[in-house]
Amino acid sequence: MSETIIRIEHLYKTFGTGDGKVEALQDINLDIQKGEIFGIIGLSGAGKSTLVRCINLLERPTSGTVTVDGQELTALKEKDLRKARRGMSMIFQGFNLLMQRTSLQNICFPLELSGGKGDKAAREKRAKELLEIVGLPDKADAYPVQLSGGQKQRIAIARALADNPQVLLCDEATSALDPTTTQSILDLLKKINREMGVTVVVITHEMRVVEQICDRVAILDGGVIQEQGDVSEIFSNPRTEAGRRLVMPNGEKIHVLPENRLVRLAFNGTTSGEPIIARLAAQQGICLNIISADTRTIGDKSFGTMVLGLPQDETEAARALIYLREIPGVTAEEVTDLVQ
Ligand SMILES: Nc1ncnc2c1ncn2[C@@H]1O[C@H](COP(=O)(O)OP(=O)(O)OP(=O)(O)O)[C@@H](O)[C@H]1O
Ligand SMILES: [Mg+2]
């Protein structure tokens, strides 16, 4: 049984007024489950940072509610809100470490603020445990300038975990890192999620990041959630224009005769495309054009979509559709909304 930890309902955020008015978020509805890794993906300016700041109420929504672990944050007074926020912490693209403090002191900092974990010795003990968890036990006395980007992010993660949050919010946490370092930070986030049970919300513009670690994803575009669901489903078969732009950044540029009917196949990992086309030709004598294909591997499964042009002959087209719809692991759907 899954349990909701973050519920966002009818959330709007508007900045400014009159001509300068920006509707950064419009009617956002999200349910994030306890223990999952949830991705929010969108292009620059989509409203991702605004949304994540609305989750911990660093930014007050213009309207709508945010409920975390059963407590409606939008209804709390500042003092209670400060307490509730302790259950959530955040990491950023720029790490935001205190430059005058060593790694150990950076990690102790939130504990000093919250008064949690007892005296200085207890705080340092906790900080050392965290240095182990993030794989940098030997960097306790290093200052941020002495650390690489990946190491800085590890210290920032340790600091974020110091007060045992239930939720870790990550705003483009790997966007400043090279691919190998990105991978190691994503592995660490996954480990923290699995071993410590921390719910992780990942904000990113990179689909690779979502593919690697997220269970579910929401696509944010122009301040609106265009679609959300399981990563495998959304990435193998994006249903909205915004989804396709993110998932297939090269675009599905299609040049077909207007009279061609099109069918989109979505593969769920049990089969792949080419043999299907070959079999259809061999067994049924029906030839389909591959208009575009985009398959990829997520986890240990292969997924993807393929768009085929159906034969102009109506009977043949109908037979092909019946055949395609009966293949296990494949969803076949006629499409009318692809760019010509
Ligand atoms: N404090 C603010 N005042 C006015 N407008 C703002 C403010 N913060 C954000 N915006 C506007 O809200 C929209 C969403 O911005 P936001 O920073 O949330 O996008 P983002 O998806 O995080 O982008 P990026 O990927 O570049 O970080 C943008 O049009 C931005 O200009
Ligand atoms: Mg941002």
Each residue of 4-47: pLDDT tens digit?
A: 999 999 999 999 998 889 999 999 999 999 999 999 999 889 99
List, as ranges, residues with CB under 5 A of the ion ligand 2. 48-49
Is 192 within 8 Å of 134 (Cβ atoms)?
no
CA-wise closest residue to 25 among 5, 47, 45: 47
At 340, is the pLDDT very low, low, confident or very high (cuts 50, 70, 90)?
Answer: very low
For ligand 1, the distance from its centroid to the CA atom of residue 51, given in whole angstroms, is 9
Tell me what pLDDT residue 152 has.
Answer: 96
Phi, psi dihedrals of residue 100, rounded to the nearest 5°: -80, -5
Kindly give the distance from the C-alpha atom of residue 41 to the centroid of ligand 2, in angstroms, as a whole number.
Answer: 10
pLDDT for residue 337: 62
Q: Is 44 in the pocket of ligand 1 (CB under 6 A)?
A: yes
> Distance between CA atoms of 54 and 206, rounded to whole angstroms?
21
Report the residue among 14, 15, 17, 169 best suited for mutation to probe ligand 1: largest number of ligand atoms under 8 A from its CB. 15
pLDDT at 101 over 80: yes
Alpha helices (H) along the chain: 48-55, 78-85, 103-114, 120-133, 149-161, 179-196, 207-213, 231-236, 241-247, 273-279, 314-325
Q: Which two tokens stand for residue 162?
A: 């110091």
Q: Are 305 and 266 in contact (CB under 8 A)?
A: yes
Are the CB atoms for 90 and 169 separated by under 8 Å? yes
Q: What average pLDDT does this structure show over 51-77?
A: 95
Residue with tokens 């009966």: 326
Averaged confidence pLDDT in the chain: 88
Count CA atoms closer than 13 A to 17's CA, side-chain side: 0
Asked if residue 45 has its Cβ within 6 Å of ligand 1, the reply is yes
Q: Which of 104, 22, 91, 96 is nearest to 56 (CA)?
A: 91
- State how far Cα 65 lies from the chain centre: 21
State residue 339's pLDDT score: 47
Question: Considering the chain, what percentage of its residues have pLDDT values greater than 90?
Answer: 58
Q: What are phi and psi of 272, to 5 degrees?
A: -125, 170
pLDDT score of 297: 57
Asked if the model's pLDDT at residue 253 lies above 50, the reply is no
The least confident of 84-88, 213-217, 219-223 is 84-88
Ligand 1: which of 49, 53, 174 to mutate, judged by most atoms within 8 Å of the beta carbon? 49
Contacts of 194 (CB under 8 A, 6+ apart): none
Largest Cα–Cα separation, the chain: 80
- In this structure, the chain runs to a length of 340
Give backbone dihedrals phi and psi of 167, rounded to 5 degrees, phi first. Answer: -130, 135
Check: CB of residue 227 under 8 Å from CB of residue 240: yes
Q: Which amino acid is at 59?
A: E
Domains of the chain: 4-237 (3.40.50.300), 262-335 (3.30.70.260)
Tokens coding 249:
């950044």
Atom of ligand 1 nearest to the CA of 47: 18
DSSP 8-state symbol, 284: I
Strands 4-15 and 22-33: antiparallel
